Structure 1
Amino acid sequence: MEGRFSEKSDVFSFGVLLLEIVSGKKNTSFHLQGLSLSLLGYAWKLWNESMAQALIDPTLLSEQNFEADILRCIHVGLLCVQESANCRPTMSIVLSMLTSEIVNLPTPKQPAFIEREVSSPSGASFDTPKPFSVNNVTITSIEGR
């Protein structure tokens, strides 16, 4: 956020990716009607309400019972995206957490970037998501001479 990068920046990105995989939603295009939460904020809200299973993409819950493993991934993902880089685990610890070498996981603290700022050019807020972006892009066919 302040332009400082560290080894914990990669941990943060990995946490976002983990939450995106588990939820089946992209952080950059996540939108909930009436809430200005990012995917991280929504995951945090569900975690605090003991409803983390509501974040899980239903296609991940097949005939085999992986819910406990997926909830562990959510827990680890939230540990990776904590506000303070000092509170985030290292990637080697993340690996140990995901492979259950570390059984008791610490309680995550509030993630960074939980609110999503959405505004129009005039400053008014949007309540409805756009299904696509409007880009003035053309496709050019390049051929050799």
Structure 2
Amino acid sequence: MDFPVNGYTIQRGSTLDRALLSKFMGITYEELFPGNPLTHLGHTVEQYFSSDTPLWWVFDASQTAIGCLWVGIAIDQSSGVRHAHIFLLYVHPEHRRRGIATAMMQCATAWAQARGDQQIGLQVFANNQPAVQLYQSLGYKIEAYSMLKQLEA
């Protein structure tokens, strides 16, 4: 599939891409939480990545992976309905604002619709306003708040 921006292609990944997926997760979280060692991300990939949780890569003209979309399956806690869930969406900063994330989300939507899903869910950090704005522009609505309280040791 070609993107609207010349020079980018999208390719479906496979379960052989575990190491690259772990790397992209690390890049994503390092960008959001600099200096915070996130050693658990490899375990997350090992535990949840399978042939049932599709992965797409975005490549630039030099065939370098510059973007990643990992989609999984979730159950809506209020209705019990199974639906697609975005685990990871990442585009390298130098390639942002070119329609790449929107095109990847279209891949996720097509995959979910082909499965018969009625909705797609995701979580986004509140301080990641560019991502919040992207998702809202694509029709995503806030449904819940995730709240945490730090406990004293």
TM-score grouping bracket, smaller chain normalisation: under 0.3
Which structure has more RCO (C-alpha within 8 Å, separation ≥ 6)?
Answer: 1
Q: TM (normalized to structure 2)?
A: 0.26
Q: TM (normalized to structure 1)?
A: 0.27
Higher helix share: 1
